[in-house]
Amino acid sequence: MSDLLQLLFSGLAQGSIYGLVAIGFVAVFSVREIVNLAQGEYSALAGLSAISAVAAGVPLLLAILLVVPLVIGVSVIIERVCIEPVRRMTPLVSIILTLGVSTALKAAMLLIWGPQARGLPPFPGRDLVVAGISVRSQELWIIGIAVLVAVVVIWAYEHTLLGKAMRACAEQPVAARLVGISPRMATMIAFGIAGLVGAVAGVIGSPIYFSSWDYGLGLGLKGFVAATLGGLISLRVALFGGVVLGILENLVAGYIDSGYRDAVAFLVLLLVLLIRPQGLMLKASGARV
Partner 1 sequence: MTGLQVEGLTAAYDRLQVLHGIDLEVAQGQIVAVIGANGVGKTTLLRSVSGLLRPRSGRVQLNGEEISSASAEQIARQGLAHVPENRLVFPSLSVDDNLSLGGWTTRKDGHYEERRTHALALFPRLADRINLSAGSLSGGEQQMLAMARALMAAPSVIVLDEPSLGLAPRLVGEIVGTLARLRDEQQLAVLLVEQNIRAAFRVADYVLVMDRGVVVAEGSPAELADDARVRAAYLGGDSTSSGSIVAPDPSPTTPATKNSQESR
CB of 118 or CB of 164, closer to partner 1: 164
Q: Of 249, 214, 188, nearest to 18 (Cα)?
A: 249
CB of 5 or CB of 287, closer to partner 1: 287
286 touches partner 1 (CB under 8 A): yes
Asked if residues 125 and 145 have their Cβ atoms less than 8 Å apart, the reply is no
In the complex, the smallest distance separating the C-beta of residue 181 from partner 1, rounded to whole angstroms, is: 6
Q: Of 255, 251, 50, 16, nearest to 147 (Cα)?
A: 16
32 touches partner 1 (CB under 8 A): no
Among 129, 130, 161, 274, which residue sits at the site for partner 1 (rule: CB under 8 A)? 161
Binding mask 130-149 for partner 1 (x = CB under 8 A): --------------------
Amino acid identity at 25:
F
181 touches partner 1 (CB under 8 A): yes
CA 118/CA 120 separation, integer angstroms: 7
Distance between first and last Cα of the chain: 37
Among 32, 106, 136, 167, which residue sits at the site for partner 1 (rule: CB under 8 A)? 167
CB of 151 or CB of 177, closer to partner 1: 177
In the complex, the smallest distance separating the C-beta of residue 164 from partner 1, rounded to whole angstroms, is: 5
Among 70, 93, 172, 188, which residue sits at the site for partner 1 (rule: CB under 8 A)? 172
Three-state secondary-structure class, residue 173: helix
Three-state secondary-structure class, residue 231: coil
In the complex, the smallest distance separating the C-beta of residue 194 from partner 1, rounded to whole angstroms, is: 21
Question: CB atoms < 10 A from the CB of 83, how many?
Answer: 23
Among 1, 129, 130, 179, which residue sits at the site for partner 1 (rule: CB under 8 A)? 179
3-state SS string over 22-78?
HHHHHHHHHHHCCCCCCHHHHHHHHHHHHHHHHHCCCCHHHHHHHHHHHHHHHHHHH
Q: Which of residues 212-271 bind partner 1 (CB under 8 A)?
A: none
Among 107, 175, 263, 273, which residue sits at the site for partner 1 (rule: CB under 8 A)? 175
CB of 227 or CB of 289, closer to partner 1: 289
DSSP state of 88: S
CB of 56 or CB of 178, closer to partner 1: 178
CA 236/CA 157 separation, integer angstroms: 11
Asked if residues 81 and 13 have their Cβ atoms less than 8 Å apart, the reply is no
Q: Which stretch binds partner 1 (CB under 8 A): 16-24, 106-114, 179-187, 253-261?
A: 179-187
Interface with partner 1 by CB under 8 A: which residues?
A: 161, 164-165, 167-168, 171-172, 174-182, 285-289
